[in-house]
């Protein structure tokens, strides 16, 4: 079965997460993605090393289904090879500010001069055209500047989320933009520049907080793991771990009252709706904490499930790897990689399609693993490649 993007060629100059995860999703769907990196390897290749060769966990996730080409794009010969690759490609993906794009011959005007219908997809920290556009930034910049981090954590300590959601969110929005650009290209034959950035992605995810502030003039306090707008909602300690419960809406609240044998609370004016329950959440959360205290995780979750309440166990990373549902659903594919102690659990394409599913066809590439074959595809023979290698170009 062919992929939706079979026949589409992508040059990936991305690093870390936003651009590489975008191109990984497109590669899952059949695109031929060439990762272009420095001769010593992109910085993201070596972060959080998990293999004997030094490749990192995020690199292994974000670069499956790709081929690797090493190339010094700052040299005249490297720029010429870049031009030849662009001429044979449909999409170029990069995450670097405009000055970096220009230095590497990857800005939209330069690319369009080589291939008029090229699609360029870029990710930056703040977006181009504003007073912060010259700044560099990672995921945390989007988080802390979106208003979200100010709202999460402990009363006296804001806490940034350990999962880089601004980066991965930007990758997904960029992938949507690329698909829209491809749809437009197939209708008109025209390319375009797709721009994504960490800050607007983070703003998208925290937008409700901003609306609340603008219209009501207030910010709710940081409340740890408790809900921002409903109650009872928290991580609750049980005898052998923690469980999460989130109750919203009148029918669910009534079922919770039955669970804890407190039907009198349903007619209590303090708990008449979600807003009032949140305002008086300490009462409800404390009741739930007491209910959980003498139960095991299995007992608490079983009872909450029987009352059709949205509850879940707090999993450690080890628990995730052993979870029966995750295993049955095949969410993690174990892919061998040279130098890894065991097959690497790589997340599958994060959406499923009944007719044209994404697939993990190959592991992430070793550094420069496909340099010779990629250059051969643009007419550079083995003798010339040897010379380029001797001069430090590839």
pLDDT at site 97: 85
Residue 308 lies in a domain: yes
Is residue 34 within 8 A of residue 11, CB to CB? The reply is yes
How far, in Å, CA of 329 to CA of 322, rounded?
12
Q: Are residues 27 and 129 in the same domain?
A: yes
Identify the helix (H) or strand (E) that includes residue 383. Answer: helix 382-390
Q: Are residues 70 and 173 in the same domain?
A: yes
Average pLDDT of span 345-356:
97
Residues 6+ apart with CB under 8 A from 323: 315
Residue 335 lies in a domain: no
pLDDT at site 2: 80
Average pLDDT of span 96-105:
89
Which CATH number is 298's domain given?
Answer: 3.30.1540.10
Report DSSP state, residue 56: B
Residue 214 lies in a domain: no
Average pLDDT of span 25-41:
97
Decide if pLDDT at 1 tops 80.
no
Residue 341 lies in a domain: no
Average pLDDT of span 3-19:
97
How far, in Å, CA of 370 to CA of 376, rounded?
10
φ and ψ at residue 66, rounded to 5 degrees: -115, 160
Q: Are residues 170 and 246 in the same domain?
A: no
Phi and psi based region of residue 6 (left: phi greater than 0; alpha: psi -120 to 50; beta: remaining): beta
Average pLDDT of span 132-146:
95
Query: Total domain count for the chain?
Result: 2
pLDDT digit string, tens, across residues 296-306: 999 999 999 99
Q: Which domain holds residue 128?
A: 9-205+353-391
Decide if pLDDT at 310 tops 90.
yes
Is residue 93 within 8 A of residue 99, CB to CB? The reply is no
Domain edge (last residue) among 265, 291, 317: 317
Average pLDDT of span 325-343:
98
Decide if pLDDT at 171 tops 70.
yes
Band of pLDDT at residue 25, cut at 50, 70 and 90? very high
Bridge partners (DSSP) of residue 195 are 122
Residue 166 lies in a domain: yes
Residue 225 lies in a domain: no
Q: Are residues 182 and 108 in the same domain?
A: yes
Q: Are residues 46 and 194 in the same domain?
A: yes
Q: Are residues 138 and 74 in the same domain?
A: yes
Residue 223 lies in a domain: no
pTM of the entire structure? Answer: 0.95
Is residue 60 within 8 A of residue 363, CB to CB? The reply is yes
Residue 387 lies in a domain: yes
Identify the helix (H) or strand (E) that includes residue 214. Answer: helix 207-216
Q: Are residues 198 and 245 in the same domain?
A: no
Decide if pLDDT at 167 tops 90.
yes
| Residue at token pair 């771990």 | 241
Is residue 34 within 8 A of residue 321, CB to CB? The reply is no
Measured CA to CA in angstroms, residue 227 lies from 157, 214, 281, 343 at distances of: 17, 20, 9, 38
Q: Are residues 30 and 162 in the same domain?
A: yes
Domain edge (last residue) among 298, 317, 336: 317
Q: Are residues 42 and 151 in the same domain?
A: yes
Q: Are residues 197 and 237 in the same domain?
A: no
Is residue 367 within 8 A of residue 70, CB to CB? The reply is yes
Q: Could you tell me what percent of the chain has a pLDDT over 90?
A: 97
Q: Are residues 177 and 49 in the same domain?
A: yes
Average pLDDT of span 140-162:
96
pLDDT digit string, tens, across residues 219-266: 999 999 999 999 999 999 999 999 999 999 999 999 999 999 999 999
Which CATH number is 119's domain given?
Answer: 3.40.50.10540
Bridge partners (DSSP) of residue 49 are 56
Average pLDDT of span 170-187:
98
DSSP three-state, residue 114: helix
Domain edge (last residue) among 317, 336, 369: 317
Q: Are residues 173 and 280 in the same domain?
A: no
């Amino acid at each position: 079965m062919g992929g939706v993007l079979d026949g589409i060629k992508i040059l990936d100059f991305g690093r870390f997460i936003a651009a590489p995860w975008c191109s990984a999703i497109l590669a899952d769907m059949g695109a031929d993605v060439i990762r272009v990196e420095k001769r010593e390897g992109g910085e993201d290749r070596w972060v959080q090393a998990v293999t004997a060769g030094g490749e990192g966990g995020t690199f292994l996730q974000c670069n499956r289904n790709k081929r690797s080409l090493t190339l010094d794009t700052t040299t005249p010969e490297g720029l010429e090879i870049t031009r030849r690759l662009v001429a044979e490609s449909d999409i170029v993906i990069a995450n670097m500010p405009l000055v970096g794009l220009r230095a590497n011959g990857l800005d939209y005007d330069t690319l369009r001069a080589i291939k008029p219908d090229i699609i360029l997809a870029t990710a930056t920290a703040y977006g181009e055209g504003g007073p912060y556009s010259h700044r560099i930034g990672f995921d945390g910049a989007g988080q802390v500047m979106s208003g979200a981090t100010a709202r999460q954590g402990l009363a006296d300590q804001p806490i940034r989320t350990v999962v880089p959601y601004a980066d991965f969110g930007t990758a997904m929005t960029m992938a949507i933009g690329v698909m829209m650009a491809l749809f437009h290209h197939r209708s008109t034959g025209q390319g375009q520049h797709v721009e994504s950035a960490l800050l607007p992605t983070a703003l998208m995810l925290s937008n409700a907080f901003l609306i609340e502030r603008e219209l009501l003039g207030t910010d709710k306090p940081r409340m740890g793991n408790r809900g921002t707008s409903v109650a009872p909602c928290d991580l609750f300690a049980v005898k052998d771990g923690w469980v999460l419960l989130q109750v919203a809406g009148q029918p669910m609240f009534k079922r919770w009252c039955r669970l804890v044998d407190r039907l009198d609370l349903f007619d209590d004016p303090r708990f008449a709706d979600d807003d009032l329950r949140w305002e008086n959440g300490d009462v409800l959360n404390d009741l739930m904490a007491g209910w959980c205290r003498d139960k095991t995780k299995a007992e608490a979750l079983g009872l909450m499930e029987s009352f059709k309440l949205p509850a879940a166990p707090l999993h450690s990373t080890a628990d995730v790897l052993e979870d029966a549902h995750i295993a049955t659903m095949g969410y993690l594919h174990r892919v061998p990689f040279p130098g890894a102690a065991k097959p690497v659990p790589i997340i599958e394409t994060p959406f499923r399609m009944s007719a044209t599913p994404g697939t993990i066809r190959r592991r992430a590439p070793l550094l420069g693993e496909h340099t010779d074959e990629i250059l051969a595809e643009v007419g550079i023979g083995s003798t010339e490649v040897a010379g380029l290698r001797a001069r430090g170009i590839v």
